[in-house]
Amino acid sequence: MKLKLLSFLKLFIPFSILLFAIQYSLVNFLMETNLYYTTVLVYAFHVIATFLIYLFLSYVHKTFSDKTGFAFMGCSLLKMLAAVLFLLPMMLSDVANPFHDMIAFFVPYFLFLIFETVYAVKLINIK
C-alpha cells in the first residue's frame, strides 16, 4: 500500500502544484477579480478530498478488492455533496457574479476527478 501511495503522490503533488500555479496566475494577474473563495481555499478542498478518496480506495482495494469500483462511485457522490456544501455560503450570499466563482471551483473539480478516476481504474485493474 505504501508503494501505491508513493507512486500516487509522485504525480499528485506536481499535478496539484501546476494546476494551482496556473489558476492563481489567471485569477490574480490576468483577471484581477475578487472571488468569494480564494484559490488557496479551493485547492485545499480539492487536494484534501482527492487524497482522502485515494487513501480510502487503497484501503478498500486492500481489504475488499472486488468492491473498489463501488467505493469510488460512493466517494464521488460524497465529494459532489461536499462540493455543494462548500459552495452553499457563496450561493446564498449576494455575490455580484457567481459565474466566475463557479468556474474557478468546477474546472479544477473536474480535473481532479479525472485524476482520481485514472488512479481508481489503475487500482481496479491490478490483478
Query: Which is it for the CA torsion 86, 19, 99, 74, positive or negative?
Result: negative
The structural domains of the chain, with segments of one domain joined by +, span 2-124
Tens digit of each residue's pLDDT (9 = 90 or more) over 104-121 = 999 999 999 999 999 999
How large is the C-alpha radius of gyration of the chain?
Answer: 16
Q: Which three cell numbers stand for residue 105?
A: 471551483
Tens digit of each residue's pLDDT (9 = 90 or more) over 30-89 = 887 788 888 999 999 999 999 999 999 999 999 988 899 999 999 999 999 999 999 999
pTM of the model: 0.91
